[in-house]
């Protein structure tokens, strides 16, 4: 009985929900980056240092979200 409870703790629906949460954040961050690299008038920002910093910040957050996907899959495998 207890192993059934453990497997239901991390079922495929939970894994899918974790994937959705992570990728939803990536989508939101991508939209924000697009806005960040343009002025309020819609012109692209060409300052390389600014772009570098904005991209580094984006990549740090996105990598964390992608790690969440890997962790969810690993937790699911471990619960089996």
Cβ-contact 36, 54 below 8 angstroms? yes
Residue 24 pLDDT > 50, yes or no? yes
Predicted pLDDT at 80: 82
Better-scored residue on pLDDT, 57 or 7? 57
Predicted pLDDT at 6: 41
Number of folded domains that form the chain: 1
Cβ-contact 3, 68 below 8 angstroms? no
Residue 9 pLDDT > 80, yes or no? no
What is the model's pTM? 0.79
Enclosing domain of residue 72: 2-79
Q: Rounded to 10 degrees, what is the CA torsion of 25, 31, 32, 37?
A: 140
Over residues 33-78, the pLDDT tens digits come to: 999 999 999 999 999 999 999 999 999 999 999 999 999 999 999 9
Residue 8 pLDDT > 70, yes or no? no
């Amino acid at each position: 009985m207890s192993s059934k409870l453990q497997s239901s703790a991390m079922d495929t629906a939970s894994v899918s929900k974790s994937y959705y949460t992570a990728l939803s954040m990536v989508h939101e961050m991508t939209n924000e980056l697009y806005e960040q690299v343009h002025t309020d008038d819609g012109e692209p920002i060409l300052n390389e240092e600014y772009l570098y910093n904005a991209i580094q910040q984006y990549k740090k957050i996105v990598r964390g979200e992608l790690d969440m996907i890997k962790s969810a899959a690993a937790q699911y495998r471990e619960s089996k």
